[in-house]
Amino acid sequence: MIKLGEIVELQTLGDSRGGLVVAEAQKHIPFEIQRVYWIHGTQAGVERGFHAHKALRQAAAVITGACDMILDDGTETVTVSLDSPRQAILIEPGVWHYMKNFTLDCVLLVFADAYYDESDYIRDYNTFIRSTKK
């Protein structure tokens, strides 16, 4: 059972030359990775996300910089500060989530277990809350 806002530790192989972090599917990331995208250059004060996924599983890591991720399963809300490239946060289906407090240098890398599908998004909060009561 994955808890809300669960963090997974990635493999850290840095040495005196600098950092090297590895994320392998089914090992550090608990699913097969079908898609990778990243969010960068987010301007000051911008908040993004504000949706839940019906089936998509994701894991997100900040490669540089920092941001906060807020996750809400309809019962509980947690805020997780992401500021380490050595960790990823799991974003499971049925979790309303959004991101804020991006530093200007933040690069948020996201692993997803499926291709982009807009029909997998719930972008209305009331619809999301209703879906949690079923």
* Closer residue to ligand T46 in complex, CB, 24/37: 37
* Closer residue to ligand T46 in complex, CB, 37/104: 37
Catalytic residues: 51
> Considering the complex, what minimum distance in angstroms separates the CB of residue 58 from ligand T46?
6
CA distances from 48 to 18, 19, 40 (A): 31, 28, 12
> Considering the complex, what minimum distance in angstroms separates the CB of residue 111 from ligand T46?
11
Number of Cβ within 10 Å of residue 17's Cβ equals 6
> Considering the complex, what minimum distance in angstroms separates the CB of residue 32 from ligand T46?
16
Sign of CA dihedral 101, 107, 113, 114: positive
Exposure of 9 by Cβ count < 10 A (0-12 exposed, 13-18 middle, 19+ buried)?
Answer: exposed
Residue from 95, 96, 91 nearest 110 by CA: 91
37 binds ligand T46 (CB under 6 A): yes
Strand partners, 79: 70
* Closer residue to ligand T46 in complex, CB, 17/79: 79
Exactly one of 29, 39, 59, 109 binds ligand T46 (CB under 6 A); which one? Answer: 39
Task: Return residues touching ligand T46 (CB under 6 A).
Answer: 35, 37, 39, 48-49, 58, 60, 91, 110, 116
